[in-house]
Amino acid sequence: MSDESQELGITESKSHKPGDWYAEVVQKAGLADYAPMGGFIVTKPRGYALWEGIQDALDSEFKATGVDNVYFPMFIPESFLEREKDIVEGFDPEVAWVTHGGHDELEERLAVRPTSESIIAPFMADWTRSHRDLPLRLNQWCSVVRWEATETKPFFRTKEFMWQEGHTAHASNEGAWDEVWTRLGQYENLYEDVLAIPVLRGKKPEHDKFPGADTTTTVEALMPDGKSVQGATSHNLGQSFAEAFDITFADEDEEERTAYTTSWGLSWRAIGALIMTHSDDQGLVLPPTIAPTQVVIVPIWQDDTKDDVLEYSQNIADDLEAAGFRVELDDRDERNPGFKFNEHELNGVPLRLEIGPYEVEDEEVTLVHRPDNEEAVEDRDEIVESVDDHLETVYAKLYATAEENLEENIRTADSPEDIMGTIGKHGGYVKVPWCGDEACEEAIKEKVAAEIVMQPLEEEGGQTAAKPKAPEDDDATCAVCGEPAEEIAYFAKSY
């Protein structure tokens, strides 16, 4: 390997120093850089392209199910925020405040939105008069600020982050529940069908639900380092926000009713999960569904074969682009093939096409998979179909590896020592019977910084959809305190 190829290399190990490795991949693959203010990042074109891919996938699903996009101000008057006391109490330590406009002190402080229920709900109230106005489904793509004093971890932990937040109003609780499950299902599909990450779906325990919500549902993804990522959440807010902001409507009998509302969101934490799940010690690994460049063509020539190789490569690039693939023809003179291989490997391009004089002569193409460097030789005449097949295979490989990691890392425990020992040794999820008392979670959290990240649910649908699954043993006792247990909980360390 040449010196110039070594410049591209990842120096940290994913298995030994996952935090340092992750930061190096993010920077060397050109996804993001650190801003001059602590807790903020600069998202570079390749990183933002991943967010756009996620946005495109979700936005089309939202619109197909009746959602309209809107945009609300990033500043929320303090009096608006205070109308929902649980929101104030839940986010108060993390709210950034604007107190001055220019040199003048503001008459009322403005919160930089930590979430937008308190600014959107009053307008939902204005726009809702009759049952004919419902359901009302709004979504905005924006950034929010939560002033957490945590170490910056691009896409996982930043004070400002990109997300989408959906807000809906319904005539009935059943309608609200249908909304909750629709959005949770769309998030699950995004992770499993676009990001190649299997997820678990369930609910947060009562003490960890969204401030002001009746129920918070979640999809959770397990990272290779044994930590869980909250992939997205969908909240049934019941009538608390509607009552606080007077979201009412006249029903068919002209009786005034209070609406039921939901909110749901996914942030660019999904990008962090994507990087952490699939990437390796050579750099970024991306599934073809989301990769900004799906296929890179690297021509390999000597002076006497250059024209033929480049013409052959360009024709293949044209055919693939016409078929809808995102293709790059890397015909740079100043870089040798070894450097190009390493650079595109670092940047996570799923499929590399190598074309030299032998491929031209034999009317073939050599294809190399990014995840494992598996090679194949295919006929030139069938290159479009072959590339499609190989990209599907790459996706399947990534999903299978992530699925194996998940399946192998769900364990059970029946005592506090067992829970802590299992998490300490293996990480992953520990599935236990639980009495429902927050104190039992705290007892574990204090010792090993693991918490209840998810509770699997009984059959979904209707107004009792958020009931946690019961242990299979009718006489099960809580794995922490030994009291009777009627619920199942998953403990894990989390991002």
pLDDT of residue 5: 43
Q: With CA atoms as reference, report the closest residue to 477 among 431, 415, 412.
A: 415
Task: For 20-159, list the strands marked E by DSSP.
Answer: 32-34, 41-43, 68-69, 75-77, 96-101, 104-112, 136-145
**Counting beta carbons within 10 angstroms of the beta carbon of residue 71, is it exposed (0 to 12), middle (13 to 18) or buried (19 or more)?**
exposed
Is residue 4 predicted with pLDDT exceeding 50? no
pLDDT of residue 87: 64
Query: Which token pair is 421?
Result: 């020992």
178 residue type, one letter:
D
Mean pLDDT of 215-224: 97
How high does pLDDT run on average in the chain? 94
Query: Which token pair is 447?
Result: 């010792």
pLDDT digits (tens, 9 = 90+) for 113-136: 999 988 999 999 999 999 999 999
N- to C-terminal Cα separation, the chain: 36
Least confidently predicted of 261-270, 338-347, 455-464, 483-492: 455-464
Domains of the chain listed by start with CATH number: 11-278 (3.30.930.10), 295-406 (3.40.50.800), 410-492 (3.30.110.30)
pLDDT of residue 6: 45
pLDDT digits (tens, 9 = 90+) for 387-445: 999 999 999 999 999 999 999 999 999 999 999 999 999 999 999 999 999 999 999 99
Is residue 1 predicted with pLDDT exceeding 50? no
Is residue 231 predicted with pLDDT exceeding 50? yes
Q: How far apart are CA 41 and CA 305, in angstroms?
A: 45
Q: With CA atoms as reference, report the closest residue to 298 among 253, 329, 264.
A: 329
Mean pLDDT of 9-18: 95
Q: How far apart are CA 445 and CA 447, in angstroms?
A: 5
pLDDT of residue 198: 98
pLDDT of residue 463: 54
Q: How many residues does the chain have?
A: 495
pLDDT of residue 465: 61
pLDDT of residue 461: 61
pLDDT of residue 89: 72
